[in-house]
Amino acid sequence: MDFFIWLRYNKTMWFILALLTAFFASLNDAFAKKFFSHLSHYEMAVFPMAYSLPFFLPVYLFIDSPPLDLLFYLSFLVSLPINGVAFILYMKAIKISPLSLTIPYLAFTPVFMVFTGFAFLGEVPGMSGLTGIIMICMGGYVLNLDLDKFTLLSPVRAVFHEKGSMIMLLVAFIFSFAAVIGKVGILHSSPVYFSVSFFMVFNLVMFFLLLAMKKISVGNLLKYKFKGLLIGGAMFFHALFHCLSIALAKAAYMISIKRLSILFSVIYGGVFFDEKNIRMRIAGALLMFLGSVMILLGE
């Protein structure tokens, strides 16, 4: 208890935890591509799910359950298939395309949330939100800019030619709905309880579902135990630091810092995978990060 009181009253701790969230989120993606991209995208997805369970279980046993109502259970159940589809597609995008041309497109999630907010709630973005949308679109353009082969429309065509980029745009769209539904679950429980309990159930359901569908091999899972624990640990710390930091700060501020994972992933792409044109991709990712911050802080 004293530890959580200290966290709450330490004014900079939310920022450090949000930064760690970004670091482990991008590290999870780098591990998935580095260690498991020779496997199917289903098996790429199941490694962090299966090997994070030993980390999540002890935490789940020691957290208090808040009073839960019908809306919590409904949002929880609806979140399972939505996040399942998104996560499988996420891994497919990472598998087939460079990290520096896939992960940055997650910045379009708040863009899609602006439009879904208008469609379902009648919410109209302010000047900050509109500026953020323009910056993210500009970042997507710069991300695919190749000065050696430049024409005005070549970066736009590059997005459609890079299958992983297109898939990640779809993932960002799905996440725009998942974020809204997940927020309902958090509001009707607590950030820590929802995050830990959701990952516990989600990981177990996805593991047994993919096993029943014969999309994964238990032999492959057992073959890479050490690498599995590395990626499982990265997924666990991503979730843990996320729920701790979002409990200490305004959600918009925390998510804004977490978006730095976009930049980390582009840097990993250059350092660990020797991806090309990395300076231009860093510039594009930086624009997309700043754009998402503008949208989130304008809420």
Round to whole Å and give the CA distance between 217 and 119: 42
For the chain, percent helix, then strand, then coil, each to nearest 5? 85, 0, 15
Look up residue 201 and give its two tokens. Answer: 């159930």
Output the pLDDT for position 9: 54
Least Cα distance to 105 among 265, 277, 221 occurs for 265
Question: Given this model, what pLDDT does residue 193 score?
Answer: 86
Q: What is the pLDDT of residue 147?
A: 66
Which regions of the chain are under pLDDT 50?
A: 1
Q: What percent of the chain has pLDDT over 90?
A: 31
CB 18 within 8 A of CB 217: no
Could you tell me which of 45, 93, 25, 98 has the C-alpha nearest to residue 262?
25
265's tokens: 């992933």
The end-to-end CA distance of the chain, in Å, is 32
Number of H helices, E strands in the chain: 14, 0
pLDDT digits (tens, 9 = 90+) for 111-149: 777 676 666 556 666 777 778 778 877 887 777 777 666
What does the block give as tokens for 204?
Answer: 């177990």
pLDDT digits (tens, 9 = 90+) for 209-229: 999 999 998 888 999 999 999
Report pLDDT for 280: 84
Model pLDDT, residue 194: 87
Note the pLDDT of residue 155.
Answer: 60
